[in-house]
Structure 1
Amino acid sequence: MGGQAQVVTFALDDLLARGEEVREVYVLHLSPADPRVRRALDQLADEFAGDRYGGRVCRFRPWVIRTRAGPPLVDIRDESDADQVWMEVYRLLGELKGQGRRLHLCIAGGRRIIGVLALSAAMLLFGHEDCVWHMYTPRAFLERARDGAILHARPEDGVRLIQVPMVPWGSYFPALRELTRATAGQVVAEGIRWLEEADRRRCEQVLERLTPRQREVLLAFAAGDTPQEVAERLHITLKTVDTHKTTILAECRNAWELPEGQHLSYHFLREKFGPLRHRLRR
């Protein structure tokens, strides 16, 4: 959160209206020495007076992001600050998930990079039961509500949460969750390594099920050839290329466990097999 208390109350009101049970609200923010942040925190403290919100038990938990030395972080000016934000967000989400909590992460307000880092941490720590949300607020109403002038939207104001599709990679690759001391860059690099390894295994699985000629067609597509170029390279007809392509994509659909309704084309082969084609030739 930056200086806009309403992003918290708008999101909470929407979740409660959906029937979600929310007992605690954590608000990540930079230094409260910023007058706008301080004012927003004071507004929220009033909304959650007595650990209640709208007649319900609900606790307000402001979470200030701190520097390595301890004082609150004033701004995110370089990679070191970004890494510190990553560590703080990861620590908070990790502690909450360690308690068995179901979490809703709303990315709205404050520095955009905090939202980006929070999303990357969520992809490692969240399970399928957790949700990430983006808040949509019509521009005209956004201006009227600015700086907490309006803390509760009516249905006709058009404010709503939109669930963000997210793959909880940590659920599929639990070892990624052990990177608690890594920087944001190291976590991203490790995630890419895991994904590349998973794709390599799937590529090898597909190749094992193909005939030698089908493998030649696949590797030609992986090199970036179009169907016509594959036909010319291998001295076969375009119809034969299409027949082989259909078989290859069917094997890919099985290996990647893709739904039948998802369209696949030869571009998929270049995307998945292209970076690995030199290793796959061995």
Structure 2
Amino acid sequence: MNSVTVTVPASSANLGPGFDALGLALGLYDVIEVQVTDSGLKVEVLDAGAGGVGDVPTGETHLVVRAIRRTCERLGVRPPGLHLRCFNKIPHARGLGSSAAAVVSGVAAGYALADKPVDAAAVQIAAEFEGHADNAAASLLGGLVIAWSQSGRFHAEKLTVHPSIRPVLAVPEVKSSTAATRGLLPAEVPHADAAFTAGRAALAIHALTCDPSLLLAATADRLHQHYRAPAYPATARLVNELRDAGVAATVSGAGPTVLALTTDGIIPAGVDVEGFAVSELPVDSSGVQVTAR
């Protein structure tokens, strides 16, 4: 293929206790058009969503370009030149997997340019960029994913989300840095907290796939969210307020977006969402999609 369009969904990672292990694909999409040219590189960012056009590089450091280059190298192809047109709707630096989505779109485009179907090795290529596979695997595969690494290799399994689950997002104007919030995490945690979180992560898989009535208990976490709370006090307040109202709310990825896993698509009356843009998004069950143009 010499010209492809890639549509890639946003994602929410962790889902409470599943730190660096659970990811959920969401129905909000970036679209990347890639055309092979005779030479050179041209990157057009036509809509940067909440990121701002000026915040997005337009050269070789662009994440989509880097992912295409790495994938094509792995697959043994070398496009003479590239023209990218990027229509970004996933907000940047909000905990919705915008970086992972960019990487996945580049990986999928690289496979298409090599005229190969996306395979399990694509998870490895995409996850190498961030060092964990939760967001990337969700955007690549769709649905709910369980991600892990072993002996330097990244893996993921896709599960089907219970059809009654209706995610609601509360997205603030402020941004967050994954690197900065990871810096707030301690090197060690109490054994009791680790055991608690392991149990809730296992329960989360059951709740998300089989029994949504257990979501509130299943999304409780003692591993990372309270350590990161000082970085986004409004987010921490909203998560706590929603949970006190019986809603299974978590910090989405590294934040500061709040993910509420509901079965009615409603934030209870009386919960203070000032400063947040609230919207219901469906679960994306298909993952990245590639079409020839």
TM-score by length of 2: 0.24
TM-score by length of 1: 0.24
Higher strand share: 2
Report which structure shows greater RCO (CA 8 Å, sep ≥6).
2
> Which of the pair has more CA radius of gyration?
1
Higher helix share: 1
